[in-house]
Chains A and B, each alone.
Chain A
Amino acid sequence: MINSFSKLKISSVFLTLLISAPAIIIFLYLFSGSSDNWQHLKDTLLFEYIFNTLYIMFGVAILTGLIGFTTAYLTSLYTFTFSRFFHYALILPFAIPTYIMAFIYGGMFDITGSVTTFILDLFDTSLNEVYFFDIMSIEGAIIIMSLVLYPYVYLICKTYLSFESASIIDAAKTFNLSSWQILKKVILPVSRPAIVAGVTLAVMEAIADFGVMDYFGVSTFVTGIFRAWFGMGSVEDAAKLASILMTFVFIIIVLERLQRRNKVYKSSGKDFKPIDKIKLSGGKNVAAVIVCFIPFFLGFLLPFIQLCYWFLLSYEEIIDEDFMTLLYQTLTLAISSAFIITGLALLFVYNVRLNGDKTSSSLNQIVKMGYSIPGAVVGVGILSFFAVLDKYVFDIFSETFIISGTIIAVIFGYCVRFLAISINNFESAFSRIPTSYDDAAKILNIGDKKTFFKIYVPLLKNASFSAFIVIFIEVIKELPLTMILRPFNYDTLAVRALELTQQAQIVESSVPSMFIIIIGIISVILLARNMNKV
Chain B
Amino acid sequence: MLKKLALTAVVLGSSLLASSEVNVYSHRHYDTDKQLFKMFEDKTGIKVNVVKAKASALIKRMESEGAKSPADVLITVDAGRLYQAKQKDLLQSIKSNYLTTNIPEKLRDTDNKWFALTKRSRVAVYRIGSDVENQLKTYEDLADPKFKGQIMVRSSNNIYNQSLMAAMIAHHGEEKALDWAKGVVANMAKAPKGNDRYQVKAVANGIGSIAIANTYYIGKMVDNKDASQRESVKKVKIFFPEFKNGGTHINVSGAGVAKYSPNKENAIKFIEFMASKEAQELFAKGNYEYPVLAGVKSSDLVSSWGQFKDDTISINTLGENNAAAIKVFDKAGWK
On chain A, the residues within 8 Å of B244 by CB distance are: none
Q: How far is the CA of A41 from the CA of B9 in the complex (A)?
A: 41
The reply to whether B53 and A483 contact each other, CB–CB distance below 8 Å, is yes
The reply to whether A44 and B331 contact each other, CB–CB distance below 8 Å, is yes
The secondary structure that dominates the A interface is helix
Tell me if B312 counts as interface (CB < 8 A to partner A): no
Residue from the list A112, A387, A484, A487 in contact with B207, Cβ < 8 A: A112
Tell me if A404 counts as interface (CB < 8 A to partner B): yes
Within B18-58, which residues are at the interface with A (CB < 8 Å)?
23, 29-31, 49-57
Tell me if B16 counts as interface (CB < 8 A to partner A): yes
On chain A, the residues within 8 Å of B224 by CB distance are: 504-505, 507
Closest to A116 in B: B205
On chain A, the residues within 8 Å of B197 by CB distance are: 504
The reply to whether B17 and A486 contact each other, CB–CB distance below 8 Å, is no
Residue from the list B64, B192, B198 in contact with A384, Cβ < 8 A: B64
The secondary structure that dominates the B interface is helix
On chain A, the residues within 8 Å of B49 by CB distance are: 488-489
Residue from the list B1, B9, B61, B330 in contact with A44, Cβ < 8 A: B330
Given contacts A336-B5, A400-B68, contact A383 B51 (CB under 8 A): no
Tell me if B322 counts as interface (CB < 8 A to partner A): yes
Residue from the list B31, B194, B323 in contact with A136, Cβ < 8 A: B194
The reply to whether A383 and B60 contact each other, CB–CB distance below 8 Å, is yes
Given contacts A217-B192, A231-B322, contact A112 B68 (CB under 8 A): no
The reply to whether A407 and B201 contact each other, CB–CB distance below 8 Å, is no
Tell me if B84 counts as interface (CB < 8 A to partner A): yes
The reply to whether B51 and A405 contact each other, CB–CB distance below 8 Å, is yes
On chain A, the residues within 8 Å of B309 by CB distance are: none
Residue from the list B5, B17, B154 in contact with A400, Cβ < 8 A: B17
On chain B, the residues within 8 Å of A408 by CB distance are: 5-6, 9
Most A C-beta atoms less than 10 A away, residue of B8, B154, B193: B193
Tell me if B225 counts as interface (CB < 8 A to partner A): yes
The reply to whether B57 and A231 contact each other, CB–CB distance below 8 Å, is no
Q: How far is the CA of A134 from the CA of B7 in the complex (A)?
A: 51
* A-contacting 9-mer, from B178-186, B226-234, B272-280: B226-234
Most B C-beta atoms less than 10 A away, residue of A40, A107, A398, A487: A487
Tell me if B155 counts as interface (CB < 8 A to partner A): yes
The reply to whether A400 and B207 contact each other, CB–CB distance below 8 Å, is no
On chain B, the residues within 8 Å of A495 by CB distance are: 52
Given contacts A45-B330, A504-B224, contact A226 B157 (CB under 8 A): yes
Tell me if B221 counts as interface (CB < 8 A to partner A): yes
Q: How far is the CA of A117 from the CA of B31 in the complex (A)?
A: 31
Given contacts A37-B323, A111-B190, A112-B201, contact A235 B51 (CB under 8 A): no
Q: Mark A376-397, 1 if CB is under 8 A from B, else 0.
A: 1001100110110011000000
Q: Mark A204-234, 1 if CB is under 8 A from B, else 0.
A: 0000000000111101000100110111111
Residue from the list B65, B190, B195 in contact with A405, Cβ < 8 A: B65
Closest to A214 in B: B157
Given contacts A217-B155, A229-B56, A483-B54, contact A112 B205 (CB under 8 A): yes
The reply to whether B232 and A484 contact each other, CB–CB distance below 8 Å, is no
Tell me if A401 counts as interface (CB < 8 A to partner B): yes
Q: How far is the CA of A180 from the CA of B70 in the complex (A)?
A: 65
List 8 additional contacts besides A111-B202, A216-B193; criterion CB under 8 Å: A112-B198, A215-B193, A336-B5, A390-B68, A486-B53, A503-B30, A504-B197, A506-B226
A to B CB contacts below 8 Å, 26 in the list: A110-B194, A111-B190, A112-B198, A128-B206, A136-B193, A217-B191, A219-B335, A223-B157, A314-B225, A376-B57, A386-B64, A390-B66, A398-B13, A400-B68, A402-B13, A404-B61, A405-B51, A405-B65, A406-B9, A486-B51, A487-B51, A488-B12, A488-B50, A490-B51, A499-B29, A503-B29
B interface list, Cβ under 8 A from A: 1, 5-6, 8-10, 12-14, 16-17, 23, 29-31, 49-57, 60-61, 63-66, 68, 70, 84, 154-155, 157, 159, 162, 190-195, 197-198, 201-202, 204-207, 217, 220-221, 224-226, 228-229, 232, 322-323, 326-327, 330-331, 335
A interface list, Cβ under 8 A from B: 37, 40-41, 44-45, 106-107, 110-112, 114, 117, 126-128, 136-137, 214-217, 219, 223, 226-227, 229-235, 310, 313-314, 336, 339-340, 376, 379-380, 383-384, 386-387, 390-391, 398-408, 411, 483-484, 486-490, 495, 499, 502-508
